[in-house]
Amino acid sequence: RGVMLGNFGAAAVSAYESWVTDAEFIVSDKRHPKGADGTVWLGRVFWSKPNQLLK
């Protein structure tokens, strides 16, 4: 969508689900000509086995 993405974050939400987040890097209060508007992206990962780090 025409801009860089910022730093991403990862979080274990439960033993069976983790989230990865990122956001479009916007340097002004105006929308980018290609459509970027500061959207935050969320990816959800569902594990088939429980995350052993969450004991």
What is the pLDDT at residue 42? 98
Rounded CA gap, 55 and 37, in Å?
39
What is the pLDDT at residue 20? 98
Instruction: Kindly state the percentage of the chain with pLDDT values over 90.
Output: 55
| Total Cβ atoms within 10 A of residue 45 | 13
If we measure between CA atoms, which residue out of 19, 10, 12, 8 comes closest to residue 42? 19
Q: What is the mean pLDDT of residues 46-50?
A: 96
> What residue segments make up the domains of the chain, in order of their start?
9-49
Rounded CA gap, 38 and 29, in Å?
9
